[in-house]
Amino acid sequence: MTCQTYSLFVLSVIMIYFGRFGNSLILAQLQNDIDQLKADFNSSHSDVADGRPVFTEKLVNWTERNEKRIILSQIVSMYLEMLENTDKSKDHVRRISEELYTLKKSLPDGLKKMKDLMDLAKLQMSDLKIQRKAVNELFSVLHKLVEPSSSPKRKRSQPQRRCKC
């Protein structure tokens, strides 16, 4: 084995190690698979350029790490759903699905928060019982908004008077 071959070998071992166990996508490795997927989906059709992008533009204002995990978990789920109906016997489809699935598993908090938002969207706010509960919780909700964000590093002492709700 020449020195160059060996260093390439070491590089690929490192990339595979960190790609898998660091749960990060190796974009270069996926580029070729994604190109094949584009061909499957006719992504070179002229209508792809019509209007606005579906995802990338929406990501622009999601800058904070925890925020990004929420929207990315949802977007990754949507890609997985799309690929569900694709021929999984194709190697590139299988590899992309596996990477997305790994990524999704690394974003469990994002998934949970996304589910919270979807559950909220389903609440029937015209329901009188729900309205009663909502009004009962209003003070606590507003209190959440004004209290300083709690980080694990600087835990604040519990307030003396706890809200009964």
Ligand X SMILES: *[C@@H]1O[C@H](CO)[C@@H](O)[C@H](O)[C@H]1NC(C)=O
Binds ligand X by CB under 6 A, chosen from 3, 54, 60, 120: 60
Binds ligand X by CB under 6 A, chosen from 6, 9, 18, 41: 41
Binds ligand X by CB under 6 A, chosen from 61, 124, 151, 157: 61
CA distance 71 to 62: 8
Q: Which is nearer to ligand X, 14 or 59 (CB)?
A: 59
Let me know: does 110 contact 117? Beta carbons within 8 Å.
Answer: no
Kindly state whether residue 46 participates in binding ligand X, applying the rule CB under 6 A. no
99 C-beta neighbours (distance < 10 Å), count: 21
Secondary structure (DSSP) of 68-119:
HHHHHHHHHHHHHHHHHTS-TTSHHHHHHHHHHHHHHHT-HHHHHHHHHHHH
Residue 20, both tokens: 């898998």
Kindly state whether residue 17 participates in binding ligand X, applying the rule CB under 6 A. no
Q: Which is nearer to ligand X, 61 or 149 (CB)?
A: 61
Kindly state whether residue 54 participates in binding ligand X, applying the rule CB under 6 A. no
CA distance 155 to 149: 10
Shortest distance in whole angstroms from residue 85 CB to ligand X:
10
Kindly state whether residue 55 participates in binding ligand X, applying the rule CB under 6 A. no
Shortest distance in whole angstroms from residue 59 CB to ligand X:
8
Q: Site residues (CB under 6 A) for ligand X?
A: 41-42, 57, 60-61
